[in-house]
């Protein structure tokens, strides 16, 4: 222990003074059965817990919170559990993306308004990792992130089933008439076998891995399966560590640099990450004051190969396999020449120290550099007259023949008309066409995961399993295919996507990072003269705040007023 003395603890402002207000604070703790020995001279540690009865991925947090608490007590801290919005990815509508910033605000204000010295953040289901860490970065207190960890692999008739990816795959088979009702119900009961997050390389696994690579978790934490006993030990160790971090005053400001977020990008590429990594990591880095950009992702994608053979970029394995093959430390050790090894982790040691000696026990799961899953990184950023501020895709999960393609646009203004049309067996469509969905960006619809547009049933029955699809939506990290996403500026603010018409031709050239609408500038200017903005989607409540303040996808979709440099720093609360 060094750095801080007990009277310098932030919580001492609430509990130490000999005045009436502090008497009130102390007597209210005693109302709950605590004695002075519980808190005097001890760091007060918030455990921000995103457990709820309806977040399947965090079901084990009801018990794990006691393991975190045990660690905090062992190290001489005083644990306080503070529940936060749970954000179950499949359940919350219209999309959890609408509420990521809500969780970030809640986390920041929970930490600021209570007598907290440091925090353990418990999350993992997609938006919870960025939401919790963005809020904690803005609060500025020391924190450790405890990842929920992936669920066990799905099992059905001798096959491993992967979250999301196999749902999409078998749904297409069902639409093609190849699966019975009984088959479908068996799959429904077999795909999610335990607590924990999606176990493909979806957004959850991506963001937990990035959190570890940036330095927010204990080394090796991010891939531990949720039900593994080592997950319990990791929780307790995180509780012990945060107490020391408070004494060391290891705040985000003391610990972080741009290098930490660049390490996150390298990790994302080597993992074969979800496209959502871009939005969330950009938002996190901006909160920390070290902004990374779309261009940083694209530069890294040219250099860092995909090494994790995890679906959907990989063809076979799932997160459980990844963990037992060595996990994130092992994967990072293979791309160590791309990393800033001197970046300090929450455990107080450098990334180089933390990955030293990592063993790879299965080189088919974590590939060597000369046998990558994909020679370039997981993501590509394309620009052109259709997307001046970028459109992103995942080339490693796309049929190779679509990476350079020109096709006819088939345009839809909303998801329900898209769905109706793609379910129509007489739809005028070929596999060479490019499906386009607009008004699904941040302002248009809260940016839901609609970007893996359904392949028209007519084509599915012909055996087509991939085609180019363009939107201003996001897609699930468990999705795959030739999906061009996050088109910015979005259609709802008048981005060029708003001007495309069915029958226009669009050229996509992934190696050249180019997307082009084959329509003259004069014609586009004429169309713009007739364009009308759609009516606002939300006219009261939280959606109203969201629609007035959300930033575009290339800027991370944070609220403008939550960005680091918006206005003066928020002061510590008055205590009178
Ligand atoms: Fe929670 Fe996928 S549903 S991580």
DSSP per residue over 56-88, as a string?
Answer: GGGTTHHHHHHHHHHHHHHTT-EEEEEE-----
Q: Say what the pLDDT of residue 540 is.
A: 97
Angstrom CA distances, 376 to 379, 495, 567, stand at 8, 29, 40
Answer whether residue 77 shows pLDDT above 90: yes
The burial class, CB within 10 Å (0-12 / 13-18 / 19+), for 180 is: exposed
Mean pLDDT within 164-172:
89
pLDDT in tens, 465-499: 999 999 999 998 888 899 999 999 999 999 999 99
- The rounded distance, in Å, linking the Cα atoms of 15 and 34 is 13
Mean pLDDT within 156-181:
91
Mean pLDDT within 334-358:
98
- Number of the ligand 1 atom closest to the C-alpha atom of 88: 1
User: For residue 313, what pLDDT band results from cuts at 50, 70 and 90?
Assistant: confident
Global pTM value: 0.96
User: For residue 172, what pLDDT band results from cuts at 50, 70 and 90?
Assistant: confident
CA of 202 to the centre of ligand 1 (A): 8
pLDDT in tens, 390-420: 999 988 888 999 999 999 999 999 999 999 9
User: For residue 168, what pLDDT band results from cuts at 50, 70 and 90?
Assistant: confident
Answer whether residue 38 shows pLDDT above 60: yes
Helix (H, G, I), strand (E, B) or coil at 156: strand
CA-nearest residue, atom 3 of ligand 1:
89
Q: Say what the pLDDT of residue 2 is.
A: 58
**Residue 387's closest CA among 500, 526, 296, 482?**
500
- The rounded distance, in Å, linking the Cα atoms of 90 and 440 is 18
What residues line ligand 1, using a CB cutoff of 6 Å?
57, 89-90, 125-126, 163, 197-198, 202, 204
Q: Say what the pLDDT of residue 337 is.
A: 98
CA of 463 to the centre of ligand 1 (A): 29
Mean pLDDT within 112-124:
98
- The rounded distance, in Å, linking the Cα atoms of 499 and 503 is 12
Q: Say what the pLDDT of residue 376 is.
A: 81
CA of 433 to the centre of ligand 1 (A): 32
Percentage of residues in the chain having pLDDT higher than 70: 100
Q: Say what the pLDDT of residue 397 is.
A: 81
CA-nearest residue, atom 1 of ligand 1:
125
Answer whether residue 315 shows pLDDT above 90: no
Mean pLDDT within 377-388:
93
Answer whether residue 1 shows pLDDT above 80: no
Mean pLDDT of the chain: 96
- Angle of helix 327-334 relative to helix 258-271, nearest 10 degrees? 100
The burial class, CB within 10 Å (0-12 / 13-18 / 19+), for 375 is: exposed
Measured in whole angstroms, the distance separating CA 138 from the mean position of its chain's CA atoms is 18
Answer whether residue 91 shows pLDDT above 80: yes
């Amino acid at each position: 222990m060094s750095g801080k003395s007990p009277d310098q603890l932030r919580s001492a402002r609430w509990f130490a003074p000999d005045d009436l207000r502090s008497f009130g604070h102390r007597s209210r703790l005693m109302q709950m059965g605590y004695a002075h020995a519980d808190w005097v001279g001890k760091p007060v540690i918030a455990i921000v817990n995103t457990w709820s009865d309806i977040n399947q991925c965090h079901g084990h947090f009801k018990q794990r919170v006691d393991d975190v608490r045990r660690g905090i007590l062992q190290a001489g801290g005083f644990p306080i559990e503070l529940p936060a919005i749970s954000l179950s990815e499949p359940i919350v509508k219209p999309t959890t993306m609408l509420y990521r910033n809500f969780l970030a605000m809640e986390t920041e204000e929970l930490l600021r308004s209570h007598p907290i010295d440091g925090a353990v953040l418990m999350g993992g289901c997609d938006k919870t990792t960025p939401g919790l860490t963005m809020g904690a970065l803005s609060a500025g207190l020391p924190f450790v992130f405890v990842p929920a960890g992936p669920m066990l692999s799905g099992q059905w008739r001798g096959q491993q089933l992967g979250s999301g990816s196999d749902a999409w795959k078998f749904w297409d088979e069902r639409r093609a008439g190849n699966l019975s009702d009984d088959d479908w119900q068996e799959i429904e009961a077999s795909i999610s076998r335990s607590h924990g997050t999606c176990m493909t390389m979806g957004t959850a696994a991506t963001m937990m891995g990035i959190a570890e690579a940036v330095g927010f978790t204990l080394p090796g934490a991010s891939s531990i399966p949720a039900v593994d006993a080592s997950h319990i030990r990791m929780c307790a160790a995180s509780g012990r560590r945060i107490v020391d971090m408070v004494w060391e005053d290891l705040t985000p400001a003391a610990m972080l640099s741009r290098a930490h977020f660049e390490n996150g990008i390298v990790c994302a590429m080597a993992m074969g990450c979800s496209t959502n990594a871009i939005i969330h990591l950009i938002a996190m880095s901006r909160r920390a004051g070290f902004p990374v950009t779309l261009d940083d992702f694209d530069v890294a994608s040219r250099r860092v190969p995909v090494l994790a053979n995890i679906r959907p970029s990989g063809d076979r394995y799932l997160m459980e396999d990844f963990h037992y093959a060595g996990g994130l430390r092992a994967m990072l050790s293979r791309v160590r020449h791309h990393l800033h090894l001197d970046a300090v982790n929450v455990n107080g040691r450098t990334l180089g120290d933390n990955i030293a000696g990592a063993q790879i026990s299965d080189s088919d799961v974590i590939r060597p550099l000369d046998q990558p899953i994909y020679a370039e990184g997981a993501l590509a950023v394309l620009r052109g007259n259709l997307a001046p501020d970028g459109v992103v895709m995942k080339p490693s999960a796309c049929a190779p023949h679509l990476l350079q393609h020109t096709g006819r646009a088939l345009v839809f203004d909303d998801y329900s008309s898209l769905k109706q049309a793609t379910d129509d067996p007489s739809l005028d469509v070929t596999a060479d066409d490019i499906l386009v969905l607009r008004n699904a960006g941040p302002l248009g619809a809260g940016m839901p995961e609609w970007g893996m547009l359904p392949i028209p049933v007519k084509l599915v029955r012909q055996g087509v399993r991939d085609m180019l699809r363009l939107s201003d939506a996001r897609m699930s990290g468990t999705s795959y295919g030739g999906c061009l996403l996050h088109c910015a500026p979005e259609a709802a603010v008048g981005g060029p996507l708003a001007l495309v018409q069915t029958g226009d031709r669009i050229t996509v050239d992934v190696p050249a990072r180019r997307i082009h609408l084959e329509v003259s500038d004069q014609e586009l200017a004429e169309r713009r003269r007739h364009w009308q903005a759609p009516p606002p989607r939300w006219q009261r409540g939280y959606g109203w705040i969201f629609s007035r303040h959300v930033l575009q996808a290339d800027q991370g979709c944070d609220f403008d007023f939550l960005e680091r440099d918006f206005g003066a720093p928020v002061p510590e609360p008055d205590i009178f």
